[in-house]
Chains A and B, each alone.
Chain A
Amino acid sequence: MEQDKPARDCDLDGMKQGVLGKPLSRSEGLAKVTGTAPYAAEYHVDNCLEGVLVTAPFTRGTITGIDKDACLAMDGVVAVIDDSRMTARPAQGTADEAPVQQPQQVCYWGQPIALVVAETFEQARDAAKHLKITFEADELDEIPLDPQEAETENNQSTRQGDLAQAMNDASHSVDGRITTAGHASAAMEPHAAIAQWDGSTLTVHASLQMLNYNISELADSLDMEEENIRLVSRYVGGGFGSKLGISEETVAASIAAIALERPVRVVMSRQQVFQCIMRRSETTQRLRLATDDKGDLTGFGHQALVSNLPGEEFAEPVLQSSDFLYAGENRVLELDVARIHQMTAGSVRAPGEAVGMPALEVAMDMLAQESGVDPVELRLRNIPESHPVEGTPYSSRKLAECLKQGAEAFGWEAGPRKPRHTRDGEWWIGTGMASAARVHNISEAKARVTLKPDGTAMVETDMTDIGTGTYTILGQIAAEMLGLPREKVLVELGDTQFPRGSGSGGSWGASSVGSAVYVACTGLRKTLGERAGVSEDELRLKDGKLADGTSVTDLLNGGDLSEEGHYEPGDIDDDFVAAGYGAYFAQVRVNRFTGETRVERMTGAFGFGRVLNEKTARSQCQGGMVWSIGAALTEALHFDPRDGHLVNCDLAEYHVPVNRDVPDLEVIMVEERDPAASPIQAKGIGELGMCGGAAAIANAIFDASGARVMDFPMTPDRVLAAMPAS
Chain B
Amino acid sequence: MPITVNDTPHDLPRDPRTSLLDFLRHNCALTGTKKGCDHGQCGACTVIVNGQRINSCLSLAVTHDGDSVTTIEGLGTPDAPSALQKAFVEHDGYQCGYCTPGQICSATAMLQELANNMPSDASESLDGPIKPTADEIRERMSGNLCRCGAYANIVAAISEVAEQTNGAGDAA
Contact = CB atoms under 8 A, between A and B. Distances in A.
A33 B151 contact: no
A32 B100 contact: yes
B71 A35 contact: yes
B56 to A, nearest CB: 13
Contacts of A618: 92
Contact of A662 (B15, B98, B149): B149
B31 A38 contact: yes
Nearest to B95: A467
A622 B81 contact: no
Contacts of B122: 660
Interface stretch (B21-29, B111-119, B124-132, B161-169): B21-29
A26 interface: yes
B106 to A, nearest CB: 10
Nearest to B101: A35
A368 to B, nearest CB: 28
Given A33-B88, A619-B153, A122 B145 contact: no
A186 B145 CA distance: 10
B95 A619 contact: yes
A29 B78 CA distance: 9
B138 interface: yes
A721 interface: no
Contacts of B85: 30, 33-34
Contacts of B35: 41, 190, 267
A623 B92 contact: no
A468 B15 contact: no
A606 interface: no
A28 B134 CA distance: 27
Nearest to A662: B151
The listed residue with most B CB atoms (<10 A of its CB), out of A239, A267, A467, A469, is: A467
B148 A26 contact: no
B121 to A, nearest CB: 9
Nearest to B44: A188
A30 B98 contact: no
A165 interface: no
Contacts of A661: 142
Contacts, number: 190
B53 interface: no
Chain B facing A: main interface SS: loop
A185 B96 CA distance: 14
Interface string A625-639: 111000000000000
B39 A270 contact: yes
Contacts of A187: 96, 98, 147
Contacts of B17: 122, 126
B98 to A, nearest CB: 3
Interface in B55-72: 71-72
B113 to A, nearest CB: 15
Contacts of A665: 152
Contacts of B152: 622, 662, 664-665
Nearest to A269: B38
A191 to B, nearest CB: 12
A437 to B, nearest CB: 20
B154 interface: yes
Nearest to A468: B95
B39 A35 contact: no
Given A122-B18, A270-B39, A660-B142, A35 B151 contact: no
A292 interface: no
A650 B39 contact: yes
A618 B152 CA distance: 11
B111 to A, nearest CB: 15
B141 interface: yes
A33 B89 contact: yes
Contacts of B29: 44
A189 B36 contact: yes
Interface in A26-53: 26, 28-39, 41-42, 44
Contact of A188 (B22, B42, B139, B151): B42
Nearest to B143: A658
B31 A42 contact: yes
A25 B92 contact: yes
B86 to A, nearest CB: 8
Contacts of B101: 33-35
Contacts of B155: 659
A270 B95 contact: no
A615 interface: yes
Interface of B: 15, 17-18, 22, 25-26, 29-39, 41-42, 44, 71-73, 75-78, 81, 85-86, 88-90, 92, 94-101, 104, 122, 134-135, 137-139, 141-155
6 contacts: A121-B26, A122-B22, A235-B96, A622-B150, A650-B39, A659-B141
* Cβ-closest 9 pairs across A and B: A35-B32, A626-B149, A237-B98, A467-B96, A32-B97, A467-B95, A623-B149, A35-B72, A42-B31
Interface of A: 25-26, 28-39, 41-42, 44, 120-122, 126, 185-190, 235-240, 267, 269-270, 466-469, 615-616, 618-620, 622-627, 650-652, 656-662, 664-665
